Amino acid sequence: MFQGRMPVEKRNLILEYENCHPTVLATIAYGSGAIPQQNSSCKDKKQIDLIEVVDDLEETIVEHMIQHPENFTPSTLRFFRNASLKQLERGAPIVYFTNDSFQGETIKRGFISKQQFLKSIYENKSLFVPFRLQKVVELVQCRDDEIYRALVYEHQKTLMEALLMLPKEKHNLYDLMMRICSFSYLGDLRMKLHCEDPNKIKNIVDGQLEYFYQDYEEVNYNYYQRGMSSSFGVNYEQIQKDFSILPLDIQKLLESYTLDENSSLEVTEALEQYFIAASKKENLKQIWKGIQTVGVQKALVYGLRKAKKGMTKKS
């Protein structure tokens, strides 16, 4: 799973880029800049988004400061020299460095400790990183089996939650993938402020549909049964049997529901409110932390580029 969907030349570029930076446990690429969408123009130049799992977040950032001081401004250097681990992990437990140029590509990379990566996935301590992992990703490199198993589990629990949210009148694989892809945009301020393409969810699913099918079929442990076409039946009994593998807060949230087709509306409302609340809380803090970690100028450039792109797509 999670390999073979990125162009070889781009994968090699990322590996070469990694060799110039502190060693990481895993590199996960996501977004259309890394994994092309079939419906996008080859002329579109998009940044490559990376999530990098490390042993020690503070130590990695210190190494990065020593090796690449050119990536820091006086204000960001001051922030990182004085920041505690708690400050670095405020909002979401990931620290991003944006607008890094390498061989003609623009790279955005986020460092997260292995401990926080696993907590985010297994305990829902933060949904910021898991939301990005639910879509099509490429595992560029991985030196730790725990990280790989966590990535598989993230897809398994996401599939179970999405199946419980499907309306009973319509069980369609395409709708299932649309539901899965929508999780990360619930409560996203960028969508509210029109800084994202209003058709972004559909474009992502349409452009990478085959990979969505492949990844979630791999974790379909009899949770749904496909028919002759794209329609399928949900195996609520199997989901109930595996209910205990979900994070504890999701179990508590849904424990009062029967978990069948008749409760889909109530389950959908409960999960959506849960995801929206988590997103709003993290996104606001993450915006402020982003200004501190990349500097005002880079944050403005990134924000304006997003806003321009959203307005262009809307018009």
pLDDT category of residue 22 using cuts at 50, 70 and 90: confident
Tokens of 259: 């978990």
Structure confidence by residue, pLDDT tens digits, 236-290: 999 999 999 999 999 999 999 988 888 888 999 999 999 998 888 787 777 767 7
- 148-to-59, 117, 178 alpha-carbon distances in Å: 23, 11, 24
Nearest partner of 55 among 140, 113, 110, judged by Cα: 113
Residue 306 pLDDT: 55
Phi, psi of 280 (to 5 degrees): -60, -45
Give 43's pLDDT tier (boundaries 50, 70, 90): low
CA-nearest of 249, 248, 253, 251 to 270 is 253
Sort residue 67 into left (φ over 0), alpha (ψ -120 to 50) or beta.
alpha
pLDDT at 167 over 60: yes
**Dist. CA 240–CA 263, nearest whole Å:** 13
Residue 134: pLDDT over 70: yes
Q: Which residue has the tokens 């070889």?
A: 8
Tokens of 276: 């929206």
Band of the pLDDT at 291, cuts 50, 70, 90? Answer: confident
Cα 305 to Cα 283: distance, rounded to the nearest angstrom: 18
What gap in Å lies between CA 148 and CA 151, rounded to an integer? Answer: 5
Average pLDDT value over all residues in the chain:
86
Give the rounded percent of residues in the chain with a pLDDT score beyond 90: 57
Q: Give tens-digit pLDDT for 102-126.
A: 999 999 999 999 999 999 999 999 9
Token pair of 156 as six digits: 């398994």
| CA 284 to chain CA centroid, nearest Å | 17
Q: What pTM does this model have?
A: 0.89
CB-CB contact of 265 with 67 (8 Å): no
Per-residue pLDDT band for 137 (boundaries 50, 70, 90) equals very high
**What is the spatial distance between Cα 135 and Cα 156, in angstroms, rounded to a whole number?**
12
pLDDT confidence bin for 164, thresholds 50/70/90: very high
Which residues lie below 8 Å from residue 173, measured CB to CB, with a gap of 6+?
213, 226, 230, 231, 232
pLDDT of residue 248: 96
User: Which of 35-39, 171-175, 229-233 has the lowest average pLDDT?
Assistant: 229-233
pLDDT tens digits, one per residue of 292-310: 776 666 656 555 555 555 5
Structure tokens at 302: 């990134």
- In angstroms, the CA 270 to CA 264 distance is 10
Q: Does the structure show a pLDDT above 70 at 314?
A: no
Q: 178-224 pLDDT, tens per residue?
A: 999 999 888 666 655 555 667 889 999 999 999 999 999 999 999 99
